[in-house]
Amino acid sequence: MKIYIDGTLHEESDARISVLDHGLLYGDGVFEGIRFYNGRVFRLEEHLDRLYKSARSILLQIPITLEEMTAAVLQTCRANGLNDGYIRLVITRGKGAMGLSPYSCPKASVIIIACGIKLYSEEAYRAGLTMATCATRRPSHDILSPQVKSLNYLNNIMAKVEALQAGAEEGIMLNERGLVAECTGDNVFIVRHGAIATPPISSGALDGITRAVVFEVATQLGITIREAEISRHDIYTADECFLTGTAAEVIAATKLDQRVIGDGHPGPVTQRVISRFREIASSTGTPF
């Protein structure tokens, strides 16, 4: 595997960052996860737009232009000889002095990894995921904007641990009002009477790239879709439920907190969305 670090491609065994990098010491940085299919990077422009907005929000100056970043991503994909896979694009604050101040870091670092990924098993995609509600809450807007994809992911990790310890594959995270925000790594959608609903970003949901694609897909398929505040009760009593994320793509969820959702199988609306999403993902994107 060849990994891009600050303008140079390195073999994995030779890829290095400083132990004084504030991304390592304090989780100070931002990231994006991006998919590529059939030699095309899916929604690259949207991912990079979100990356630069996350960086701007935390006063992190990305040291290369958007055009240079695009070229670097495509270069890394080509260098690894993969047609399908996953890109992890990381911007760290860079090397600096001990202490929280980011102003001791003269220049941020850019790291790009292109590799394979398999988030869930084939059985999970066929039968649907089991979910559990997590006690760990999604941070509110007055703590850190949910739209910043920060390197400090411990909140989500602890929620994921809770879900796994409960025997589930994914966890539902609530906001400070006890309403559903999102999952530990995915956006959540429910289907009732043939219409789709998902929590608004004001509820703490990430404005996901795959989430946005689902809105496009629903419009193309003539399915009503809207943002609405959702409680756990709404998921328990939904006809269908599915999750979206760059790594997860689109996957059904069929159980939450031991309650079977719908008939316990991926529903017809979910299956239509998955089918159309796969068509779009496999045939569009930025070629490399």
Residues belonging to the active site: 149
CA atoms within 13 A of residue 190's CA, in its CB half-sphere: 26
Pairing of strands 249-256, 129-133: parallel
Structure token pair of residue 156: 């989500």
Give 264's DSSP letter: S
Q: Where are the beta strands (DSSP E) in the chain?
A: 2-5, 8-11, 29-37, 40-41, 85-92, 109-115, 129-133, 170-174, 180-183, 187-192, 195-198, 225-227, 240-245, 249-256, 259-260, 286-287
Q: Hunting for tokens 């870091």 — which residue is that?
A: 105
Strand order across the 85-92 sheet: 8-11, 2-5, 109-115, 85-92, 29-37, 40-41, 286-287
Maximum distance among all Cα pairs of the chain, rounded to whole angstroms:
57
Span between the terminal Cα atoms of the chain, in Å? 17
The C-alpha atoms of residue 204 and residue 220 are separated, in whole angstroms, by 27
User: Rounded to an integer, what distance in angstroms lies between the CA atom of residue 138 and that of residue 230?
Assistant: 14
Cβ pair 209, 33 in contact under 8 A: no
148: its two tokens: 């910043």
